Amino acid sequence: MQGKWNHSKKPSEYEVFDSNGELLYSGAFVDAMKYMEENKMEIMDDYDAGFNDGRNNLALDLINHFNKKIEELKENNHPANNAHISALESFIETVKKTLSEKSS
């Protein structure tokens, strides 16, 4: 199964295709996702490059934000901040691991 945006229609529609390239559904993105779920269709990891790019950008933004927060917490040098720092570092590692798994 593949999906892609059709911007020639206004409003733009998301189209779902089978493995042979036959159009199965065209409509709102959220409805397309419901259609695929209802029909037990597997969503391919790379079904929409725009979605993947957005997901990766969001993940990188979160990593940058949490790194800044870690630096702020370290500047205060308060023992209570250690748990927060540890949690943020753990989250960053989880996000990095997920990104590397999705890209391979």
| 16 & 53 share domain | no
| 20 & 55 share domain | no
Looking at the structure of the chain, the number of domains it has is: 2
| 9 & 33 share domain | yes
Please report whether residue 65 resides in a domain.
yes
Round the average pLDDT of the chain to a whole number and report it.
Answer: 82
Please report whether residue 44 resides in a domain.
no
Please report whether residue 95 resides in a domain.
yes
pLDDT digits (tens, 9 = 90+) for 30-48: 888 888 888 877 665 444 5
Parent domain of 87:
49-103
Specify the pLDDT at position 62: 87
| 32 & 76 share domain | no
Specify the pLDDT at position 43: 60
pLDDT band of 84, cuts 50, 70, 90: very high
Asked if residue 59 lies in contact with residue 99, where contact means CB atoms within 8 angstroms, the answer is: yes
Specify the pLDDT at position 61: 85
Mean pLDDT (whole number) for 7-36: 87
Residue 21: which region, alpha, beta or left (left: phi > 0; alpha: psi -120 to 50)? Answer: left
d(CA 12, CA 6): 6
| 56 & 96 share domain | yes
